[in-house]
Amino acid sequence: MFFSTRAAALNAGSLALLDTASVAMRGVAVAVSLAYLGEDKGLVVDPTNAEESKAESRFVFAWAFGSGMGTEEKGDMEVDDEDVEAEIVWTETEGDFTRDQVSPGIDPWIR
């Protein structure tokens, strides 16, 4: 299964739970997929299936945003000078990569 499909499935499930309004939730999960296509193309956000098939490595990251999600120990995210309570709840990687290859695209999100 493509990583982009996994991210889309998590996002769809999260939105479906929000839409029903009958499930108590402390936060909302959101996911993004990334593919590293080599030094010439770099890191691609939300790759197509063709891009993902050619990728040297691929990634999925998911966060939960909501009340009580982030703590000082886990690290709050800052978006446009506002604190956002969030924590990373799922990561999956596959392929050959070094931190130097992907850190420009990933470091802002991971502490």
pTM exceeds cut of 0.95: no
CB 30 within 8 Å of CB 6: no
CA–chain centroid gap for 9, Å, is 13
- Three-state DSSP state, 96: coil
Domain boundaries, the chain: 3-102
Question: What value does the mean pLDDT of the chain take?
Answer: 78
Q: What is the pLDDT of residues 24-51, one digit of tens each?
A: 777 888 999 999 988 888 888 999 999 9
Cα–Cα distance list, 60 to 2, 25, 83, 85 (Å): 10, 22, 23, 20
Query: Is it true that domain 3-102 has CATH number 3.30.930.10?
Result: no
pLDDT at site 109? 47
14 pLDDT higher than 50: yes
Give the pair of three-digit tokens for residue 37: 């296509």
pLDDT at site 107? 53
